[in-house]
Structure 1
C-alpha cells in the first residue's frame, strides 16, 4: 500500500473539487435553518439544508477518516490501481464511465468519492436538521456533546439560539476548522460556545452545567477517526471507553435533564442498558436510506 503524501493545501484543493461550496451558499443555508427553527420536525428526511455549512468547514477531515480496509479517501486515490484489481471496484468505475457519468459532468474526484462511498465507507454526518429536531423536542438550556465531531451540533445550536453548547472533541486536527466555524456561528446567533479539544474521558463533568446530553460516539470499529484511540476488541472498548464515558457524563447531567445517545443496538445492549436500565424512549433518528447503512437509533433517559 502506497502512503499518501498530499500536503494540507492539496487536500483542501481536492475537497473543494468534490464539494465546491461558497460562503454565499453557507449564508443562504444558515438563514434557512434559522427560519426553520423549531419546525425542523416538519422537514423531509431527505432535506439536506445545513449540510453544506458543515461541509464547508470540516469536509476535508471526513476525507481523512479511515473506513474499510483501514484506508481513507486520500489513500484510496493514490492506491487506485491496486484497488482496481478488486472486481467490484473496477465494475463500479466502469459503470460510472459508461453509464452514470458517461457525459463526464462529474470530475474524477467526485467519481472516486462516490465509488469510495459505495465500495469502502460513506463517512456521513448527522444533519443539522436532525440535531435541531431533537433539541427542539427537549428544549435544553445547555447541551453537552462529548463527541462533537464534524460540527453539525454546533450549527444546530446556533440556528435555534440555544443558550449554551459544550462540545468536546479528541481530534485536535479539527481545531482550525472550529476556529473558523464558531466565529461564523457567533455572528448568526447568541449561543455561547465552549469547545474543548481533549480526550472526553479526562474531563471533570461535575464542573460543567448542562441539562441535555446528545452525542453520537464512535461505533466500535466501523470508522477510524484522526487522533482517536484504537481498541483491540469490542470488550476492551466497552470497558475502557463506553462504560466510563457514559457514567461520567451522566453523573454531571442536571436532574430533570435528558441523556440521549445515538448508537448501534449492540452498544445499547452491551453497555447502556446495564448502566441505566431500559431507555425511556427509543426511536430511529430521521434520515434517508443510504449505502453502507447500519441501524442508527436514539436512546433517551430522563435523569430523575
Structure 2
C-alpha cells in the first residue's frame, strides 16, 4: 500500500478523495496528507495579504518623494539642491521596494501550499485524512488500500486481462464509500466512549445496548466489504502467479531443442527424453490455471460490483 510512516512507525495512509473531485485536484490532495492535517488544526499558509505591504510602502514613499521637493521649494532651496534630493529619494524608494519584494516573494513551496489550502476549503468534506479515522478504522482502511493497489498495479490488469476500465472507476468509488463509513463509525465510537467515560448506570447501559449492537453490525458490514475486496485481490494474485509461471515455462520450452541435442550428443541413455516433454504439459496446465484464475477474478469483481 502507498503509505508513509509517522512518528513511532505509525502508518499514515494516503488521503482518500471522493471520485467526483477533478483528477488534478484529487492528485494534489492525495499527495499532501500531512499539510491537509495541519490545515485541520488551524494552520493557514501565508496568503496574498503580504503583497499589500509593498503597495502601502510605495504609497508612503511616493507621497514623501512628491512632498519633499515641494517642502524644499517652500523653504527657498534652489533647483540644483532639489533635483539631487529628489533623485536620492526616488532611488531610496526603489531600493526599499526591491528589498521588501524579495523578502515577501513566495517560494514555490509556499505557492503549492496556498493552492492546496484553497482546494481544501473548496472541497471540504470531499476528502478524508488520517485524523478522520480511529485506530480500528485505520487498520481496515489499510487493508482496503493494499488490496486496491495490488489489483490496479498487477500486470494482468495492465495487460487488459481484467476489466481495467471498470476497475479504474469502481475501485476508487469503493475505497471512498468504505472510508466514508469508517469515518462515521470512528466518530460514533468516540462519542460512545465519551458518554461512558465516567461510568454508566444499569439504566444507561440498557439504553445504550441497542446502539452498541448497531455499531457492531455496521462494523461487521463494512468489514465484509473489505473482505470482498481482499478476495478479489486474492484471485488477481493467483492469476498473476499463473501468468508469471506460464511465461517462465514458455521460455524453457524455447530452449528445449538445445537440451535434447545435448542429451543426444552425450549419449545420456539414463535420461528419459519424455521427461523434458512434460514442459509442454506443464505449460498447458498453467494456461488452464491462468484462465481459471482470471475467470474467478471476474466473478469476484461482479460480486463486489453488487
Fold in common (TM above 0.5)? no
What's the TM-score, normalizing by structure 1?
0.23
Higher strand share: 1
Q: Which has the larger radius of gyration?
A: 2
Larger RCO: 1 or 2 (CA < 8 Å, sep 6+):
2
Higher helix share: 2
